[in-house]
Amino acid sequence: MWKNLKETILDAFWPKRCVNCNKLGQCLCADCFSLIDILREPSYEKFRHLDGLHAATAYNDKMVKSIIHLCKYNRLKELAPHLADLIIAHFKLLDNQTLLSSRLFSENQGCSDLIVCGVPMHRKKLKNRDFNQSEEIVRHFSEEFGLFFVPGLLLKTKTTRPQAELTKEERMENVLNAFEINPLFKQLVKDKEVLLIDDVFTTGATMEECAKILKQNRASRVWGAVVARG
Ligand SMILES: [Zn+2]
């Protein structure tokens, strides 16, 4: 109730505007959302640890890139649900074409053994940014499909350099052994499928390292889903 009241007051004094066209209403309006090209295909390439990847859009889409940057670096947390909506739109376009999409839309709750989690952030970075955009995207995504979201399933225990500054080899080295499973959830992932969600997939070093940890803890399958692929 307090949250709604706070939002109503904030909306009255600082009404939301679309970050793309400045129209009053939402921070990303439906017209601008509809301009984004949603990918209709999952990736069938072979990964080291991931069993498959779903990318909702291409990172070279200027609007997508700008929304991700605003969410991440300008701390516009309210953009996270719109980023999740892009992944949801991608799965809707796929409908029943893939194992994962058919399970998400299955009417007899075929997702009870599917856990959803985000790519973790180091606690020092989280302190500076206030929120983990990846987990904010997962929160909205899991609500849409009624999935089991486990915040903090993975922990980032090593501080790393920003991946964007590095080459492919350096990125792999940078995130090597940077993640651990939260000891509280060690037993939880055993024999379960996990859907790991992040904002961007470039070389895949981060997602692969997270998938490696989940597999070491005996997750049966690890899928990846991202807002944009670079
Ligand atoms: Zn707009």
| Extents of the domains making up the chain | 1-35, 38-229
Place of tokens 């996990």: 194
148: pLDDT strictly greater than 80: yes
CA of 34 to the centre of ligand 1 (A): 9
CA of 27 to the centre of ligand 1 (A): 8
Q: What is the pLDDT of residue 12?
A: 73
- 201 - beta bridge partners? 229
CA angle 147, 28, 63 (to 5 degrees): 100
Q: What is the pLDDT of residue 217?
A: 97
CA of 218 to the centre of ligand 1 (A): 44
110: pLDDT strictly greater than 70: no
**CA contacts within 13 A on the Cβ side of 29:** 12
Q: What is the pLDDT of residue 18?
A: 96
109: pLDDT strictly greater than 60: no
CA of 28 to the centre of ligand 1 (A): 6
149: pLDDT strictly greater than 90: yes
**Which fold is adopted by the domain 38-229?**
Rossmann fold (3.40.50)
CA of 24 to the centre of ligand 1 (A): 9
CA of 92 to the centre of ligand 1 (A): 22
**Per-residue pLDDT averaged across 145-163, rounded?**
93
